[in-house]
């Protein structure tokens, strides 16, 4: 019987859309979701059904999960991919923005997993795939809020991996490096600093940081999706999987003295042109 997969954050051009296509290509029944379904126009595989889902709403998450289980009888794999960028100086962020970004990037993982867990636990099988980031391990300037949400994602994944063991449910923490997507373009187009920001002189550095994940060494999204899906569908999904441009460098950073790494990253993103 084909695996049933729920993927959040599937807007065109993003990692989620490519994950959906690859899961479907491997024979899975896939439910692709996004807050605005019209933004999933690139998803065309016949094994994919598109649904509206606001991951920041308990009621909406429960509605979608209940719909899928009622129709399919199960959900085998959940991919918590929904996320939003949060570039800029950490203390320039409004508290409303802090709440919104944590709600989308982090709290939504708990919300979706909580809704699906009872069904998986009854069947004693399932996989939660949570998408983090290399900057959740090693932060860089001008991206502190996003880094904080991804650091929390990593911790949530590791704790869930232990607490889901009684139910034979695997948890896979995906840690992307640079992967091609439209997130940088979207952030650059809309990015501004507050008029009273103390960091106005650093605007070129902030723009450089926003675009850092879309350089020449960024991994094609299709390639990244194939790697993730192959692990998620394996008999023993790994607890941690990292891939993408600069992912090995960031893995190396984890073993170096913290002050040395942070000093190096600050120099890169604080130079005057």
Query: What is the greatest pairwise CA distance in the chain?
Result: 59
Strands 29-34 and 4-7: parallel
Contacts of 271 by beta carbon, 8 Å cutoff, 6+ apart:
205
Q: In what order do the strands lie in the sheet with 4-7?
A: 48-52, 29-34, 4-7, 77-80, 126-131, 169-176, 240-243
Known catalytic membership, residue 272: no
Q: How far does Cα 204 stand from its chain's mean position?
A: 26
Query: What whole-number distance in Å separates Cα of residue 22 and Cα of residue 80?
Result: 16
Angle at 19 between CA 77 and CA 176, to 5 degrees: 95
Contacts of 265 by beta carbon, 8 Å cutoff, 6+ apart:
138, 139, 140, 141
Known catalytic membership, residue 226: no
Q: Which of 18, 31, 50, 150 is catalytic?
A: 150
Tokens read off for 75? 């959900």
Q: Which of 29, 31, 146, 226 is catalytic?
A: 146
Write out the catalytic residue numbers: 146, 150
């Amino acid at each position: 019987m084909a695996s049933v997969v729920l993927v959040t954050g599937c807007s065109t051009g993003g990692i989620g859309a490519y994950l959906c296509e690859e899961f479907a290509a491997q024979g899975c029944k896939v439910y692709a979701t996004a807050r605005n379904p019209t933004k999933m126009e690139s998803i065309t595989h016949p094994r994919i059904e598109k649904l509206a889902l606001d991951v920041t709403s308990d009621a909406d998450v429960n509605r979608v999960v209940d719909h899928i289980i009622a129709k399919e009888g199960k959900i085998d794999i959940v991919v918590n991919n929904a996320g939003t960028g949060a570039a800029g100086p950490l203390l320039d962020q409004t508290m409303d923005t802090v709440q919104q970004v944590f709600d989308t990037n982090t709290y939504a993982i708990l919300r979706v997993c909580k809704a699906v867990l009872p069904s998986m636990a009854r069947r004693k099988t399932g996989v939660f795939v949570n998408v983090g980031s290399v900057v959740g391990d090693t932060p860089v300037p001008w991206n502190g809020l996003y880094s904080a949400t991804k650091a929390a994602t990593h911790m949530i994944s590791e704790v869930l991996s232990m607490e889901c063991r009684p139910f034979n449910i695997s948890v896979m923490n995906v840690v992307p490096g640079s992967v091609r997507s439209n997130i940088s373009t979207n952030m650059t187009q809309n990015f501004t600093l507050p008029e009273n920001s103390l960091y106005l002189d650093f605007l070129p550095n902030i723009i450089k940081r926003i675009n850092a994940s879309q350089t020449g060494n960024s991994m094609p999204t299709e390639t990244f999706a194939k790697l993730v899906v192959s692990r998620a569908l394996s008999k023993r999904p790994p607890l941690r999987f990292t891939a993408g441009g600069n992912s090995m460098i960031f893995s190396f950073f984890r073993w170096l003295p913290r002050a040395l790494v942070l000093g190096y990253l600050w120099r890169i993103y604080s130079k005057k042109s």
